[in-house]
Structure 1
Amino acid sequence: MRKNDIVFTLILSLSILVFLPYNFLESFQNTFLFNSKYWLLTSFLKFALLSTLGESLGLRLKKGVYNQKNFGLIPRAIVWGLLGIAIKIAFEIFAIGTPALLSHSFGIVNAVESMKNNSIFDAINVGLGGTRLLTAFCISAFLNLIFAPVFMTLHKITDMHIVENQGTIKGFFSPIKFYKIFPTLNWSVQWEFVFKRTIPFFWIPAHTITFLLAPQYRIAFAAFLGIILGLLLTIAAQKSRD
């Protein structure tokens, strides 16, 4: 194992460690990491760190390095942080709106009640386990069918913007030329792989699990999924060149 691999493994391990239920971390987790008062900052930091680690891992698998000239590690982290905030907002909207829709329009009367339970285990204890599972699946499905395609396309556009500006921070803050980038997207890969395969076969099941968890763990779990996203982006980039 090379030195950079050891450093990456150490950073990843520490990133995972802070979320684990150890007594010595309880104060930090309760006062900051899982404290809803700081949702804006923590959402930014979780995605900026974990999802960027995922992209670095993808680069390692593709090029043999975790960072390189023009890769734009800091701009990518900024983008992921901002997208993390957007994801947190989307989670709140769909986690509240979908159960209400299921209850009012689809006759699933306990949908809202099932989501009031902290986790799937609490829902099972009160006889709402099946309803919680169905509701979590519907939240994930609506989230990924409505929000995810826009989110994924926006991320791809920002990614291309970073590359076009050689990964520099100054270039990153220049106006994004949507009118030039949008037509040059590889829509074949975006549709055939990113939308048609990753959404139904990975993201909907993965986010179903997300909404079975207690609310304070959802955005952290979603951020960890960003590591897997880095691998998926690597595959998508490879397909774009094929």
Structure 2
Amino acid sequence: MKKGDFLWLLALVGFILIMVLPATHEIFVALTTKHAYIGGFVKFSILSTMGELLAIRITTGDWKIPRGVIYRALIWGFLGMIIVLMFALFTTGVQGNIVKGMLPGGESKFIFAFMVSTIMNLTFAPTMMAFHRITDTFIDLKYEKKGKVTLNDVVSKVDWNGFVSFVILKTIPFFWIPAHTITFLLPPEYRILVAASLSIALGGILAFSKKKVRIVKN
């Protein structure tokens, strides 16, 4: 085990302990409830960045800090705030439509969670993922060109075929919908934390998929 492996695991364990230990757990729940947007920003900026670092570790075999890591973390934080809003909108909207009889479910918590996850991931998720792919590509090009980067440069650089065929058509139905169904079965105060934590798992999935493609090409 490399030093970076130990430090990454130590950071993850520390984050988990904050959630588990009674004293810090109560503070976490109180802050998350009172300052939902700030909580979403912090959770996603930290955990999603850890997911990116893990993906690089798996793909390259070493720990490397990606270029523009601060900007990437800020974007993750911003997306975390948006996700806080979307979770509230979709849960309230689905529940309201179930009550009106416009969606199935009745009193079933599982069907409610599944409906929220499915509708959110088929509508909001692709837009968010495309936005994140564009911002990531912009940061990459900014460090490569060290000059003006146009929208055309970014859009042309993005692998849209891979984005649609893998990220949209595979990760959404086989990862995000099942994972978020479980997420929406949890109490509201834990949903954003679990959603942010899922980015670590997805980082591993994406990294393994990249390694598999490289092996096939070689």
What's the secondary structure of 1:106's corresponding residue? coil
Q: What's the counterpart of residue 75 of structure 1?
A: 71
CA 102–31 in structure 1, closer or farther in 2 if over 3 Å, else same: closer
CA distance in 1 between partners of 2:174 and 2:199 (Å): 16
The 3 A distance-change label for structure 1 pair 239 and 86 is farther
1:226 shift after superposition: 1.1
- Equivalence for 2:24: 25
Asked if 1:51 is matched to 2:24, the reply is no
2:139 equivalent to 1:162: yes
- The Cα shift of 1:41 comes to 0.9
The worse-fitting range, judged by mean Cα deviation, of 191-200 and 99-108 is: 99-108
- Matched residue count: 214
The 2-side partners of 1:204 and 1:105 are apart by 23
Amino acid in the other structure paired with 1:217: Y
Structure 2 letter corresponding to 1:187? W
- Could you tell me which amino acid in structure 2 is paired with residue 141 of structure 1? T
Post-superposition offset of 1:240: 8.2
Which residue does 1:197 correspond to in 2?
A: 170
SS in 2 for 1:213: coil
Q: Is the CA contact 1:194–1:236 (under 8 Å) kept in the aligned structure 2?
A: no
Letter in 2 for 1:63: T
Report how far residue 159 of structure 1 moved.
0.8
1:142 to 2:119 alignment: yes
Q: CA deviation at 1:239?
A: 7.8
Q: Distance in 2 between matches of 1:165 and 1:150?
A: 22
> If the length of structure 1 is used for normalisation, what is the TM-score?
0.80
Q: Distance in 2 between matches of 1:188 and 1:196?
A: 11
C-alpha displacement of 1:72: 2.2
The corresponding residue for 2:191 is: 218
Quote how far apart the aligned CAs of 1:237 are: 5.4
Normalized against structure 2, the TM-score is what?
Answer: 0.88
**In 2, distance between residues paired with 1:176 and 1:240?**
29
Q: Does 1:10 align with 2:10?
A: yes
Note the alpha carbon deviations across 1:22-66, whole angstroms, 9 max, x for none: 22324422432x3x2211111000000001000000001112233
Secondary structure at the aligned position of 1:165 is classed as: helix
Q: Matches of residues 220-235 of structure 1 in structure 2 within 5 Å? A: 220-235=193-208
